[in-house]
């Protein structure tokens, strides 16, 4: 029996979190869910953005499945997603981008993993208004922060028999900050002589990714570039509706899809549940339930290949619930 914190989030969060929960349960794995929530909906109901019970549950279970929580643009409201990553030092944001057979995309064999640094860079949120027409933000890169994400990327590449790690930077312009990140990548790569370190400037990376994405295996980069490249890469394999993710620290793991709360489609039972379901599969793999994790991947693949119950973003007309039920039907253990 595993104790897991479930944070449904808002927007499409509750719909896709429920989908992921029911698919995970259909594998037979025994989980005691502690459901807690945060965000503007909770603020309206309980008068607090992040109730203490969210922290208490996370600190007890040390593992969560989390839906997206909206961060309004341009308001004083700080991102709860970013706050949780920083508070619990979840420094490794891992996003596997893999083509799923049956989804019509220009490249059939994309199979890469993004390691995005998750705690520093422009995301430290230090901004100030200088005068009416000028504002500044601090981009902080540290040696310690860089080394640990780069080490995680190389360790993953080594364990998974990958021959290349691509470090993405803009050190030609940001010589000190991105320069430090790049320097750290060069240092770590010395411990892995059998793995090639490829250095690519972020703008060139965007072009390379849309022209020939299958040349990449493992990508490691700073926080903001990682955020942007994740959405770009999601577009290569069918969109945000199919890309899972994990935020890992030393002693806590929060599993969270790449997509946000998608307010444009929230509450309509049309969101694609696959990203969150595959996020659940990543969580099972992390727990050592690899067979059950794999059975979810296979069930998703079969459902998409059959094409009968897929959501609108994948050119189908199924509801979130219909697609989830079809995936559950296709689970074979």
Write down the least CB distance from residue 79 to ligand ATP, Å.
Answer: 8
Q: Is the dihedral of CA 85, 90, 93, 94 positive or negative?
A: negative
**Interatomic CA distance for residues 229 and 216, integer angstroms:** 13
DSSP 136-181: EE--B--HHHHHHHHHHHHHHHHHTT--EEEEEE-TTTSTTHHHHH
CA atoms within 13 A on the CB side of 230: 29
Write down the least CB distance from residue 209 to ligand ATP, Å.
Answer: 17
Which residue is associated with the tokens 């010589």? 175
DSSP 66-109: E------TTSSPPPHHHHHHHHTT--EEEEEEE--TTS--S-S-
Give the residue, chosen from 10, 121, 256, 313, that forms a contact with ligand ATP under the rule CB under 6 A. 313
Cα angle value 186/146/109 (rounded, 5°)? 75
The region of 29-37, 107-115, 203-211, 261-269 touching ligand ATP under the rule CB under 6 A is 261-269
> 35, 40, 39, 42: which is closest to 57 by C-alpha?
35
Catalytic residue among 10, 121, 123, 313: 123
175 or 308: CB nearest ligand ATP: 308
Give the residue, chosen from 192, 260, 286, 301, that forms a contact with ligand ATP under the rule CB under 6 A. 260
Write down the least CB distance from residue 201 to ligand ATP, Å.
Answer: 23
65 or 275: CB nearest ligand ATP: 275
Site for ligand ATP in 131-190 (CB under 6 A): none
180 or 257: CB nearest ligand ATP: 257
Write down the least CB distance from residue 1 to ligand ATP, Å.
Answer: 29
- Is 203 in the active site? yes
- Is 123 in the active site? yes
- Is 227 in the active site? yes
CA atoms within 13 A on the CB side of 194: 7
Write down the least CB distance from residue 314 to ligand ATP, Å.
Answer: 9
Catalytic residue among 151, 170, 225, 313: 170
**Is residue 222 helix, strand or coil?**
coil
Could you tell me which residues are beta bridge partners of residue 247? 93, 254
Question: Would you give the binding string for ligand ATP spanning residues 76-105, x where CB under 6 A is met?
Answer: ------------------------------
Question: What does the buried/exposed string (b/e) look like for 19-30 if buried means 16 or more CB atoms within 10 Å of the residue's CB?
Answer: bbbbbbebbebe
Give the residue, chosen from 271, 284, 296, 331, that forms a contact with ligand ATP under the rule CB under 6 A. 271
Give the residue, chosen from 168, 252, 262, 300, that forms a contact with ligand ATP under the rule CB under 6 A. 262
How many helices (H) and strands (E) are present in the chain, helices listed first? 11, 12
For residue 208, CA distances in Å to 111, 186, 204, 213, 216 come to 15, 21, 6, 7, 9
The size of the interface with ligand ATP (CB under 6 A), counted in residues, is 16
Site for ligand ATP in 240-259 (CB under 6 A): 240-241, 259
Site for ligand ATP in 221-240 (CB under 6 A): 231, 240
Contact status: 13 vs ligand ATP (CB under 6 A): no
Tell me which residues are annotated as active site: 123, 170, 203, 227
| Residues at the site binding ligand ATP, with contacts judged by CB under 6 A | 12, 16, 68, 231, 240-241, 259-262, 264-265, 271-272, 275, 313
């Amino acid at each position: 029996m595993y104790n897991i914190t479930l944070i449904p989030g808002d927007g499409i969060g509750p719909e896709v979190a429920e989908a992921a929960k029911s698919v995970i349960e259909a594998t037979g794995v025994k989980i005691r869910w502690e459901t807690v929530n945060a965000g503007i909906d909770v603020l309206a109901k309980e008068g607090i953005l992040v109730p203490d019970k969210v922290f208490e549950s996370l600190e007890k279970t040390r593992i969560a499945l989390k839906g997206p929580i909206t961060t309004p643009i341009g308001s004083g409201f700080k991102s709860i997603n970013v706050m949780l990553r920083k508070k619990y030092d979840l420094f490794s944001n891992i996003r596997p981008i893999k083509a799923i057979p049956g989804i019509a995309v220009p490249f059939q064999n994309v199979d890469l993993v993004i390691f995005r640094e998750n705690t520093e860079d422009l995301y430290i949120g230090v901004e100030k208004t200088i005068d009416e027409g000028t504002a500044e933000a601090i981009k902080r890169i540290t040696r310690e922060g860089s080394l640990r994400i780069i080490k995680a990327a190389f360790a993953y590449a080594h364990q998974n028999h990958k021959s290349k790690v691509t470090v993405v930077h803009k050190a030609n312009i940001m010589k000190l900050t991105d320069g430090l990140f790049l320097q750290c990548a060069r240092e770590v790569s010395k411990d892995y002589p059998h793995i090639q370190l490829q250095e690519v400037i972020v703008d060139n990376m965007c072009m390379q990714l849309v022209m020939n994405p299958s040349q990449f295996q493992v990508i490691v980069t700073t926080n903001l570039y990682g955020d942007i490249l994740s959405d770009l890469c999601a577009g290569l394999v069918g969109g945000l509706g199919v890309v899972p993710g994990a935020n890992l620290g030393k002693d806590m793991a929060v599993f969270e899809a790449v997509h946000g709360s998608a307010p444009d489609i929230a509450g309509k039972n049309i969101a694609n549940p696959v990203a969150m379901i595959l996020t659940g599969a990543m969580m099972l793999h992390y727990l050592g339930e690899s067979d059950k994790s794999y059975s979810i991947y296979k069930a998703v693949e079969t459902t998409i290949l059959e094409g009968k119950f897929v959501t609108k973003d994948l050119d189908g007309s199924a509801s979130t619930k219909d697609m989830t039920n079809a995936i559950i039907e296709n689970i074979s253990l």
